[in-house]
Chains A and B, each alone.
Chain A
Amino acid sequence: MQSDKSLLLEVDHPQAAECRKAIAPFAELERSPEHIHTYRLTPLGLWNARAAGHDAEQVVDTLLAYSRYPVPHALLVDVAETMARYGRLRLEKHPTHGLVLASSDRPVLEEVLRAKKIAGMLGSRLDDDTVAVHPSERGNLKQALLKLGWPAEDYAGYVDGEAHAIDLAEDGWTLRDYQRDAAESFWHGGSGVVVLPCGAGKTLVGAAAMAHARATTLILVTNTVSARQWKDELVRRTSLTPDEIGEYSGTVKEIRPVTIATYQVITTKRKGVYPHLELFDARDWGLIVYDEVHLLPAPIFRMTADLQARRRIGLTATLVREDGREGDVFSLIGPKRYDAPWKDIEAQGWIAPADCIEVRVSLPDASRMTYATAEPEERYRLAACTPEKVGVVRDLVTRHSGQPTLVIGQYLEQLEELATALDAPVITGQTPVKERQRLFDAFRSGEIGLLVVSKVANFSIDLPTAEVAIQVSGSFGSRQEEAQRLGRLLRPGDPGPDGERKIAHFYTIVARDTVDAEFAQNRQRFLAEQGYAYRIVDAGDELAGR
């Protein structure tokens, strides 16, 4: 236990698994590289533990029991004090006033009533210990109280929504243990975020949550292609029929008991208003599913604040937001309810092991000079798009011929150039949806063995057959993009004829001694912290067939 409130867990210790289980309710897993995993105690984590029924004594006992060294007294006191702040304020249902904020500790209530940010959210004072709350401010109030350090315990419960029978159709397949655990801990917590690696079957966790709720459901996804995938998966894995599932997107506007909408259509603004906001009120939704919650656009945060009475589940592989709004995700959608280290799921065989390799190319002298004199904002593009990479990609593709391969990049010219050089089809944002669908289908069926794709393929595109990905450029240093791209490969394929499991190959090609390499290091950090060690090779060695 460190003085910055991080906990270090020795993975190879015989008690490691036991300890991990004991600390998981209150500590957040921050990094999980190969030897020592780092957890952190945060007020939010401790409050969530309180919400889940753990008390400070249990937490302190656990820390003392598993700590290898004496635990500083001040930290233990701090844990107890932090946890004691939870639940001094309660949000309750009131027979006449609807929603009220009640307190058992009058000074605390007085303190928060005096906070400027809170004032507008509260109604009249009912008595010394109770204040009316505008029901629409439930989410904002909770968020504001959390920031003040006096989180309210929400007893107001959830509306059930319009009942609708949904069952999992477990014919020939069953929910995996971790999927069942994730859905259950979500359901017991009421609302929250489930973090699972790409390819670990988050859609099924969503389906399981729907089967718990047995109510009409609104599913928000990133794009149309992934909306179709959700629909197919739901039809295959649940009792739902295609007629019960509606798609609400730019082209189709169906509202059915289960409706899948894209973020884009909801956040479309016309004349200063969001015309599709009505979707949230179109039915009495019992559950709202947010897919890829790390991409949730800002307007949806505001809309979500009004939906606090409905159950919400967020799904993601990487709760790393480049805009730093992780806190908003937690307070509006709900705390992290389930998280598993990628390597654990890999060890269970549910995601494919991956071999991550960084291939370094040297810029030729002429390019180095161009690079050195370029404007700073041009440098990344110059370095990332160096023609040297084309040759390396070609060699890698040849080496892995026969294995379905994706070439992923950021810049269209570069992708076009690669597509020409490799004689492969290319998919970018400009490719029509139908064409995209066709190419993805062909790739899945094995008709096409090589696709060049832009960032449209970063998320939610299920390409289970992909075994090799070659990344030539990306969105600067985006860690979550790197993780998502690796995620494309992690869907475990069927074991080969010799019973051997597939090993994914993830290549990143970077130009040596440029910002490209710096960004690559930043991008790789998340994966390194998840235990994916990168190997670095020189393009020369790699080409020589090493």
Chain B
Amino acid sequence: MSDTQTFLLDGEEVPFAPGQTVIQAALAAGRYIPHLCYHPEFKPHGSCKVCTVRADGRTAAACTLPAQAGLAVESETEELKELRHTLVQMLFAEGNHFCPSCEQSGNCMLQALGYELGVMTAGFRHFFPIRPVDASHPDILLDFNRCILCELCVRASCEVDDKCVFALSGRGIGKHLIVNAESGRLADTEVALSDKSLQVCPVGVILRKRVGFAVPIGQRKYDLRPIRATALESAPRGPQAPGPCPSCEEGS
């Protein structure tokens, strides 16, 4: 193991394998960097910017930044925490995120990040955009109100399912999730319940019908344990990685 390379994360050495990104190496080493559009099974997207770190003085998304020997990465600084807090606030203000009536509440990464980052209010003026739902499919509901444009469903549908059922359309504030069908309706696509694209939504856009509230609110994933703890469990572990981090389990 003498050739193990390391970089510094908030002053502590983190080992990495060649080709790993900063977030992959950090999570594998049991070090949490808040993130939203990053998913361990998919190529990094770098769009949500929640995982922004400062590396050798420059800001970069930890999910797209290749780990390099000797790199000095800062993550848990007041500046970066404030930045992530504001990014999550803007996501809440931009969509229609009404947690009390959302079937994904308690399993939602956006909500759990809000808890993690201490987001008590969206802070900004809410957009209250008009985004009609697509209930056309007999087994699947699409609620676009909650879309955060992470493109995980787009990536999964194209890369894994080989169907490209979903896509983003428009630019800037007009950008939105669409369904690839002449009619624009999910019912007119080849989507199937077993598709990967239906399992990766971090928020509450893609929902299976008739299984709602099977687990009561208050007993769901992030109700039980903070996202800081659960994110580390689902990360692929390096051989020298320590077990679950006790300080992460305490919550904040």
A, B in one complex: no
